[in-house]
Amino acid sequence: MDADVVVIGLGSTGSMALWQLAKRGLRAVGLEQFGIGHTRGSYAGDSRLFRSAVHEGPRFVPMLARARELWFELEKESGRHLYDECGALQIGDSGSGSLLKSIESAEQFGLPHEVLDAAALRARYPQHRVDDNTVAVLDHRAGSLFPEASVLAAVEAAKACGAQVLTNTEAIDFDEDGGRLKIITPDLSITCDKVVVATGSWTLRLRPDLKGFLSIIPLSLTWFMPRHPELFGPDRFPVFIRDEDGVHLYGTPSHDSYSIKVATEPLWPAIPSPDQVPDFSREDLQKIGGWAADFIPDLNPEPVRHSMHHELCTPSGLPLIDLDDDTGILLLTALSGRGFKFAPVYGELAADLVTGKPNDLHDAGFALGAQHR
């Protein structure tokens, strides 16, 4: 088989890169070791937060603006509902550094937002328990993304533009082949000019040289039942992030009128492979449930559902988007726990690198050489 470009891994970013590459008319082939929209990717779990006014730094705000355009474009092209722009509340103590940075981002880039003090928060969002020194920023260009549907939509859109997709097909190796690249799977090999390695937590299998630099972190999700589900729909309850009393919680509204997602930051150490995610202990579930019901008193503290996931991380928390011009291998991976909202823009950046198209959003800090010496 012969192609211009092969994308290995059709998860969050690989699906978007394939869509963008196929749109440009390249002979693009996508390989996915499982099916499309499977339960084991870093994207699994029904919803992901999208925010525009982020505390991670001003370099990300224009990227998120472009990502938002692309999310709407993918919705239109696929005819699928992928994004519910219900807003995002970032809630914290009045002196919280990350809250102040988000407000600064919103002001600097003229993003539609409101700053709410404790009284305003209690009046508008009585679902949240707030202390007197609590402040929030309401980001209007924010909401819930639907990740499995998004991956499926991007792959379908790529196929509609001519991409070939091979599912249940693992890339087990790649090698140079007379100035081109040869991708090897158990049943066939594909010769191509460029390869996009978008393999998420499985990257170390193909790139064992990056062990010790990249780590796989377990991340959990938990869902809780409110006593009054009618108060938790996306029309009344924006996605949220809370950082108070040393606890970090985030969540999405109820998109099924049954439960809401409330999750916390990593509680478990790094693991050697995505097949070795830990299980929750009773103490873990009690702890997370206690935090959830403390911040949102209407919730029953026992999770009605929980699941364990994983994410490939760099030490800096920056993603790896790096084309090695000598080999034609492009790494598009290690999104470090916050990458889903960026997926379409990272896919576009990858496609621009492959085709040599300049893109002002490209960040030299995402190169492997800038992060790993």
Ligand X SMILES: Cc1cc2nc3c(=O)[nH]c(=O)nc-3n(C[C@H](O)[C@H](O)[C@H](O)COP(=O)(O)OP(=O)(O)OC[C@H]3O[C@@H](n4cnc5c(N)ncnc54)[C@H](O)[C@@H]3O)c2cc1C
Binding of residue 221 to ligand X (CB under 6 A): yes
Residue 248 Cα distances to 114, 144, 241, 262, 263, angstroms: 21, 18, 7, 10, 8
Residues 309-368 that bind ligand X (CB under 6 A): 309, 311, 333, 335, 337-341
Binding of residue 202 to ligand X (CB under 6 A): yes
The set of residues, in sequence order, having a beta carbon less than 8 Å from that of 218 and lying 6+ positions away, is: 266, 268, 271, 277, 278, 308, 309, 310
Least Å distance, CB 327 to ligand X, is 17
Least Å distance, CB 185 to ligand X, is 8
Binding of residue 8 to ligand X (CB under 6 A): yes
Count of residues interacting with ligand X (CB under 6 A):
36
Residue nearest to ligand X (CB): 11
The set of residues, in sequence order, having a beta carbon less than 8 Å from that of 69 and lying 6+ positions away, is: none
Binding of residue 139 to ligand X (CB under 6 A): no
Structure-block tokens of residue 349: 């950046």
CA dihedral 181, 204, 362, 355 (to 10 degrees): 20
Least Å distance, CB 369 to ligand X, is 20
Q: Which is nearer to ligand X, 32 or 348 (CB)?
A: 32
Q: Which is nearer to ligand X, 39 or 94 (CB)?
A: 39
Q: Which is nearer to ligand X, 20 or 333 (CB)?
A: 333
What is the C-alpha to C-alpha distance for residues 9 and 369, in angstroms, rounded to an integer?
23
Binding of residue 92 to ligand X (CB under 6 A): no
Angle between helices 60-78 and 343-355 (to 10 degrees): 90
Span of 35-43, 88-96, 175-183, 240-248 interacting with ligand X by CB under 6 A:
35-43
Binding of residue 13 to ligand X (CB under 6 A): yes
Binding of residue 48 to ligand X (CB under 6 A): yes
Least Å distance, CB 8 to ligand X, is 5
Residue 314 near residue 322 (C-beta atoms within 8 A) = no
Binding of residue 198 to ligand X (CB under 6 A): yes
Residues that bind ligand X (CB under 6 A): 8-14, 31-34, 41-43, 45, 48-49, 170-171, 198-202, 206, 219, 221, 309, 311, 333, 335, 337-341
